[in-house]
A and B are shown apart, each in its own frame.
Chain A
Amino acid sequence: MSPKQPLTTKQKDYQKLENKDEIKRPLLRNCIKAFLVGGFICLIGQCITVFYIYFFNFTEQTASNPTVSTLVFISMLLTGFGLYKKLGQLGGAGSAVPVTGFGNAVISAAIEHRSEGLVLGVGGNIFKLAGSVIVFGVFSAFVVALIKTIFQLIGG
Chain B
Amino acid sequence: MRKRSKNFELYSGGTPSLRGTLAKIFILGIVDAGVGFVLMILFGKQKYGFAIFFAVVALIVNWIYLRRGGLPAKYLTPGVLLLLAFQVYVVVYSGYISFTNYGSFHNGSYTEALDAIQQAAVEPIEGATEYEIKVSKASDGALQFVAFDANTKKIYIGGENYAKHPWRELTSADGLVTNADGYPESITGQTFLTDSQVNDLASTITKIKIPLGPNLDTDGFIATADAFYAQQNRFSYIYDEKNRVMTRLSDNKKFIADDKVGFFKNKDDGELLSEIGWQVRVGWKNFQKIFGDKELRGPLTGIILWTILFAFGSVLSTFILGLALALVFNDQRIRGLKIYRSIFILPYAFPAFLSAYVWKGMLNTQNGFINNTILGFMGDHKIQWFEQQGAARAAVLLVNLWLGFPYMFLICTGALQAIPNDLTEAASIDGASSWKIIRLIKLPLLLVSLAPLLIASFAYNFNNFGAIYLLTGGGPFLDQTLKVTVGATDILITFVYRIAFSGSIGADYGLASAFSVLIFLLIGSISFFSFKRTRGLEELTQ
Q: Are A and B a genuine interacting pair, yes or no? A: no
